[in-house]
Structure formats: C-alpha cells, structure tokens
Structure 1
C-alpha cells in the first residue's frame, strides 16, 4: 500500500507518458496556430484590409501564446520553480486566448457600439483574471473553470447580431467551439478531485477538447469572419 501511494505522489516520474502527451499535443497546437494565423493575416492583407489583419493577428497570437505556455508547463517536472512559473503563465494565457478569440467577431460581425462594449467587458474580465491568477496561482480548479466559462459565454449578449450575420453552418461552428471549450472547462474542474493518475488521464481529454475547440473557431474565422468570404 505505501508503494502505491508513493507512486501516486511521484506520478510525474512514474507515468511520464501522460506529461509527454500533454506537452506534445499542445506543441501540435502551436504548429497549427502558427499556420492558421499566417493564413488569416495573409488573406486579409491580400484583400488590402489591414485592420482585419491586425484583428486576426491578435486572435492568432493569443492561440500561439496559450499553446506555447501549456507546452512549456508540461515539459518541466512537478515541484520545480520553473514549472510553477509556467503554470501561472499557462493559466494567464487562457484569459488572453478567450479575449483574443472574441476580438475579430466583436469588431467585424457585431455592429458598434454593441461589439465594442462586449469586447471591452471580456478584456476587462481578462485583466482582472490575470491580476487574480498572478496573486493566487493555486486557486481552486472549479473557480478557474467557472471564470473561464463565464468569459466564454459573455458572447450571449451579442448572439442575436452574430446569428443574423451568419449562415446557419457558420453559427454552428461558433457554438460548437464554445461547447467544446465549456466541456473542457468542466473536465478540467472535475479532474482536480480525482487520483493523480486519473487526473492526468482527464487532463489529456481536456487537451484534446481544447484543440478541437480551437480548430472549430479557426474554421469559423476562416470561412465566415474573414472579409474575403
């Protein structure tokens, strides 16, 4: 029995494949994010719309930042100072990703001043979240998940405008991404009460859901928000 407990306490060393999957899956996310950002920005520039190119650059950089911080966090061993630093940066980057994802739709699809108001609320919540996480990095998993989900669904205040501006398929890609991110947040929060081994398995599922959500929203940006379409 003591050996089993010790195995759980040192699972980062005993079960390295789980951390390897977490880091490699989001390394894949970095590559996809760079490719996606390049496509969106390049197509905007080709259409001579530099303002939209800037919006997509903000969105793309927020994705790249998230996946980079997540990858670096999972590379280092538990208990090290560098891992604690990247854990904080990993959580902070989630706030930036959510706000970055809001930026193009709010300023392209939602008429002013509604879009600007929604975007200001989201970025305001992101700033508050970043300050909070900087001070209290070990906040409960359920609190983090709820805060991320709250930010993600602020879009409901402008959902009527987006629905009217899009074909049904485009709207469904947006909703699908939101559902996947929300499910990921629930999985992340729920995993905190499990054994370390089960926690890591749930964390792998969380990573997969986040990548799928990012792709759904990227496709939404490419096919239905990009000005050339």
Structure 2
C-alpha cells in the first residue's frame, strides 16, 4: 500500500513502547470486561437495541486498545508502520461505538430524530476517518481531529434536546469523560518531541473510556 510508506514512525525507546503497549493492553482487557458486563445487563431487556449497543460498544473498546497495544508491541519496521496505520484508522470507531448505546437507548426512547442524527454523525465520522487514514494518512491529521471533535460536540449537544429526561449525574460524567479525553490529547500532541508524554496520554484515554463505560452501564442501560 503506497499510503503505508508515508506513515512516519516515532522513535520510542523499548521501555516507552513497553509501557505504551501495557497501558493499552490493559484497556483492551477492561474493554472485554465491559463487553461481558453489558451483555449480561442487556439480556433481561430482551431487546435487540440493548444487545446491539452492548456488543458494538464493547467491541469498539477492544478494537481500539488492542490495535494500539499491537502497534506499540512491534519493533521498528514495516510491521509497526502498518500497525500504526491501522491504529489511527480505528480511532473514530470508539467515538461511534460510545455514541451508539446513548443513541439506541436513551435518545431512541425520547427523541428519535436526535437518535438518528447521532448515529449518522458517529458512523459517518468512521467512514471519513477510515478513508482519510487509509489513503491520505499524513495529509489529513488536522482534518480528522477537527471532524472528530466537531462530531463529538454535536452528538453531545443532541443530549440537550432531552435534557429533562437525562440523569444530571450521568450527563456530568459524560462531559467529564470527554474532558479527560481532551486533556489527554494534549500529551499526545507533544508526544512527537517528548515521547514519554505518550504514556500519560494512554492512561488518560483509558480513564476517559472507563468513565464513559460506567455511565453506559449504570445509567444508559437503565433507561426505559
């Protein structure tokens, strides 16, 4: 793949890459636990929407963190280059995966237009991200970040349409998770010049995911 040859590799030390690998391998394990817990919680509802939400969200966590762990687990070379391409390509899948249960359960029950809008934005950003990263990796970094942030902000704002129906604590935790993601992205931005910053970036990403996982498990899957 011609685009793969344009993928730049950051020079991490073996210790840095080991820590990067371990932190997101932990994220993948936690994602598997979330998947199991949500499937168990969805079962009593006997609803395809609940079960689909559990599976999509859980698998999106596993996919993102396992692909990152694999990328950091490879030594410098072509395999690592390919793994980085895949790692960056699956980022929007977690965005859409997180939005899916919020849309299919909470928004579906109160405002189907907002539900459809969130699903279209979320999975539309996946299509954009996959095309951008797989075919124009080096040229679309800023555009991808902008699209993900805008899509996330619009999806979050859709919740305001049903603000009276949403648990305030759940909404605050949802915003907190987004804030943790954004704060962690600062470490990612400076990681090229300071490779050690990638480790705290990984930690903040897992923390943000677990906050959202708690919201989905404790509040979204209780929606009626």
CA distance in 2, matches of 1:37, 1:214: 13
Where 1:113 maps in the other structure, the secondary structure is helix
CA distance in 2, matches of 1:92, 1:48: 33
CA distance in 1, matches of 2:117, 2:25: 34
Taking only aligned residues, the RMSD between alpha carbons, in angstroms, comes to 2.1
Give 1 or 2 for the bigger CA radius of gyration. 1
Q: Give the conservation status (yes or no) of the 8 Å contact 2:105–2:223.
A: no
Q: Give the conservation status (yes or no) of the 8 Å contact 1:55–1:103.
A: yes
* Matches for 1:10-21 after TM superposition, within 5 Å: 11-12=11-12, 15-21=13-19
Q: Deviations over 1:17-57 (max 9, x none)?
A: 11101000111111110011110111111332232011111
> Which one of 30, 47, 56 corresponds to residue 32 of structure 1?
30
Deviation at 1:10, TM superposition (A): 9.2
Q: Give the conservation status (yes or no) of the 8 Å contact 1:108–1:225.
A: yes
The TM-score normalised by the length of structure 2 is 0.87
Residue of structure 2 equivalent to 1:5: none
Where 1:191 maps in the other structure, the secondary structure is coil
Deviation at 1:144, TM superposition (A): 4.3
Q: Give the conservation status (yes or no) of the 8 Å contact 2:181–2:205.
A: yes
CA distance in 2, matches of 1:180, 1:20: 23
Alignment gaps of 5+ in structure 2? 1-8
Residue of structure 2 equivalent to 1:107: 104
Alignment gaps of 5+ in structure 1? 1-8
* Matches for 1:1-229 after TM superposition, within 5 Å: 11-12=11-12, 15-78=13-76, 80-110=77-107, 111-139=111-139, 142-192=142-192, 194=193, 198=194, 200-227=195-222
